[in-house]
Amino acid sequence: MERNRLTIFDTTLRDGEQSPGCSMRLDEKLRMARQLDRLGVDVIEAGFPIASDGDFEAVQAVAQEVRRPRIAGLARAGYEDIERAWQAVRHAEHPRIHVFLATSDIHLHYKLRMTREQCLQRAAEAVRLARSLCADVEFSPEDATRTEVEFLCDVTQAVVEAGATTVNIPDTVGYTVPREMYRIIEAVCGRVRNHRDVTISVHCHNDLGLAVANSIAGIEAGARQVECTVNGIGERAGNASLEEIVMAMRVRSDQMPYDTGIQGEQLYPSSCLLTEITGAFVQPNKAVVGRNAFAHEAGIHQDGVIKNPLTYEIMTPQSVGVPESKLVLGKHSGRHALGLKCQKLGYEFSRRDLDRIYKRFVALADQIKVVEDRHLLAIIQEEMPALAALKEMAKSHSVPSPLGTA
């Protein structure tokens, strides 16, 4: 099966930062940008330079310091925005200007007060201006998935002819579904088929919980850049999660023959750094990087994982930078996991003695949900005198050997 290389466009520092409460200072953006570089992303969208002086300075600093990836600055389709974005990224080793303009009728009518024809003209003019400054220009028709498909294709053709090197199709409000996204990307790719140097991209939001699925559908339809964020942060319900997209393609490479430059073992460190910087904690059951992603409480699962992790883990924790799997002791845990935990704490019990510990453990687990090491040690220490007494009793009642003594 022929494999295709995907461009990973990370917008954690731009769209991700727009999450309520997730704004970052210049030094924090630089720390995160360096980690994204270690992670291996291809494009870092460092911010929206015209938004504030602070954002301009942060984008400029990232462009000057982080040299391997392409560094993008976002701009509306107007002279001041585009000029400001260029001044912010111009010193990057690989600069990109990312221009956007809404194309859906609801945005054109209520927000922009603009006709479709005016939209076409404005988009093309903006791309021509950006291209006069920078060789790498991306254009995004905002709210693309609520744009009439034929008009979306007209816009795509216009900006490609004006010099866009990437056309990104954003599901701005998380409205589309995978089958529909496939059809949209298929249509757009068909319109630019003769422009082999143009990349089609997808940028999906998670309002219906479909951002990753929609992104993958777009890739399968022909998109070769995917826009995403670490931990899936972003406006409202967030963006497509970088770690979920990458690991879905890596684990199911038999179904998705796509490669990326992402260093898997840097996924969890990237997630942890972003949490530290923003204070936005990851939900425990978050795929790939959540606290419970490699944790097992059910006795049947624990027994399987102890015998062979592949029974209940489709990827190793180490493949994403998590040190190891965790056996969480709770009321659903079995004796096998309890015995293993006791061994790790330095105690090895017979089956009879473990049964006694297990009864105390289950009773406690019904009350406190998760039994930590300190709780288990307390049970063991309390039971030790009784266990020792039972051993002595067993010795005194032992049957002498019929062979006698030597």
At 207-239, the pLDDT tens digits run: 999 999 999 999 999 999 999 999 999 999 999
- Asked whether residue 386 carries a pLDDT value surpassing 90, the answer given is no
Q: Which of 25-39, 291-305, 341-355 has the highest mean pLDDT?
A: 25-39
C-alpha to C-alpha distance for 270 and 65, rounded to whole angstroms: 18
| Tens of pLDDT, residues 67-112 | 999 999 999 999 999 999 999 999 999 999 999 999 999 999 999 9
pTM of the model: 0.88
Question: Which has the higher per-residue pLDDT, 333 or 235?
Answer: 235
C-alpha to C-alpha distance for 330 and 371, rounded to whole angstroms: 6
Tokens 């998935």 belong to which residue? 145
- Asked whether residue 2 carries a pLDDT value surpassing 60, the answer given is yes
Question: Which has the higher per-residue pLDDT, 124 or 348?
Answer: 124
Tokens 């068909």 belong to which residue? 190
- Asked whether residue 403 carries a pLDDT value surpassing 50, the answer given is no
What pLDDT, on the 0 to 100 scale, is given for residue 1?
58
Residues 26-43, mean pLDDT to the nearest whole number: 98
| Tens of pLDDT, residues 147-185 | 999 999 999 999 999 999 999 999 999 999 999 999 999
- Determine the Cα angle at 151 with ends 145 and 157, to 5°: 105
What pLDDT, on the 0 to 100 scale, is given for residue 398?
58
Residues 39-68, mean pLDDT to the nearest whole number: 98
Of 122, 210, 128, 136, the C-alpha closest to 168 is 136
What pLDDT, on the 0 to 100 scale, is given for residue 390?
64
What is the number of residues in the chain? 406
- Cα dihedral 7, 10, 15, 20 sign: positive
φ and ψ of 4, to 5 deg: -120, 140
As beta bridge partners, residue 257 has: none
What pLDDT, on the 0 to 100 scale, is given for residue 194?
79
DSSP string across 31-95 = HHHHHHHHHT-SEEEEE-GGG-HHHHHHHHHHHHH--SSEEEEEEESSHHHHHHHHHHHTTSSSE
What pLDDT, on the 0 to 100 scale, is given for residue 388?
76
Summary mean pLDDT of the chain:
93
What pLDDT, on the 0 to 100 scale, is given for residue 368?
83
- For the chain, list the domains and their CATH numbers: 4-278 (3.20.20.70), 295-395 (no CATH)
Half-sphere exposure of 145 (CA within 13 A, CB side): 25
